Amino acid sequence: MSEKIVQLNEEVIKGQLKELVRGSVEETLNALLEQEAEKLTQAARYERNEARQGYRSGHYSRNLTTTSGDVTLHVPRLKGVSFETAIIERYRRRESSVEEALIEMYLAGVSVRRVEDITEALWGSKVSPAAISELNKKAYVHIEDWRSRPLQGGRYPYVYVDGIYLRRNWGGEYENVAVLVAIAVNEDGYREVLGAAEGMKEDKASWVSFFQWLRGRGLDGVKLVVGDKCLGMLEAVGEVFPEAKYQRCTVHFYRNVFSVVPRSKVKLVAKMLKAIHAQESKKASREKAKAVVAQLREMKLKEAAKKVEDGGVTAFAFSISLP
């Protein structure tokens, strides 16, 4: 006796489920609009009573793009009372989560054409390039407000800086552009991203301008600046924060050492380097650094030993006396 085989068409099922969810969202939103209208007029549809504040005058339709797809809202028209719904903002055509997703896609580097294709696949309707441009304008306003905000965290003894290189499109040609970033820890121990700015390249002029911009917004009390071995940044620190000390970033320093260490010995060398920073005083860390240099030479890692020896002046220049 042959067995009956049940075959399922996943695409059909997914489409039906998506339509079911979309229909439920549409029905729920319209029901909420009706409830708001009843509350404002203090009467249900066709109900007549002494407490009634206004009258219905039909509906008008609005399209709304949600994460479940496009839904049609039947917004009540009222006479004698203003209908301001809390369900959806006036003139809004997309759910806020949809707008956030569009902005995130654009900032992540997704092309406008690709955004159109993605929105059609996710929500069943394309978003025009003009709409994406308007959303980006909103995002850039918030970004600029954040970048220019006053620094109100008090004094910032520890400041970490770095230059991140990104590819930027200039008239159809791509160039590498440096984005200068500063993160600090205030006297209460709270970490804060101070700011980011385009520097074109990591030269002294760019870093001086960046540091002065931070000072103008309230950066004060800097005692230690941590960064890579960029000459322009080192000169800028001495000019803008003459009383601050400098320490080379341990991550950059470790990577520089690892570049001349066989992969099989990287973990062992990492433990040796971390032991230097684990010391409780500057004197102890320097003595430990000398011991690590000798040990690296015994392991026939002469280049790594030289990098630790030469880089120790800035990589282990921290002072335990700092608060």
Every domain of the chain and the residues it spans: 8-90, 94-147, 153-247, 249-323
- The answer as to CATH 3.40.1160.10 being correct for domain 153-247 is no
Query: What was the pLDDT predicted at 84?
Result: 66
Question: Would strands 173-185 and 191-198 be described as parallel, antiparallel, or unpaired?
Answer: antiparallel
pLDDT at 102: 64
Q: Which residues of the chain have pLDDT under 50?
A: 1, 6, 8, 90-93, 319-323
Report how far residue 304's alpha carbon sits from residue 139's, in angstroms, rounded to the nearest whole number: 46
User: Is the overall model pTM greater than 0.75, yes or no?
Assistant: no
CA angle 275, 276, 282 (to 5 degrees): 140
Identify the helix (H) or strand (E) that includes residue 21: helix 10-41
pLDDT at 154: 84
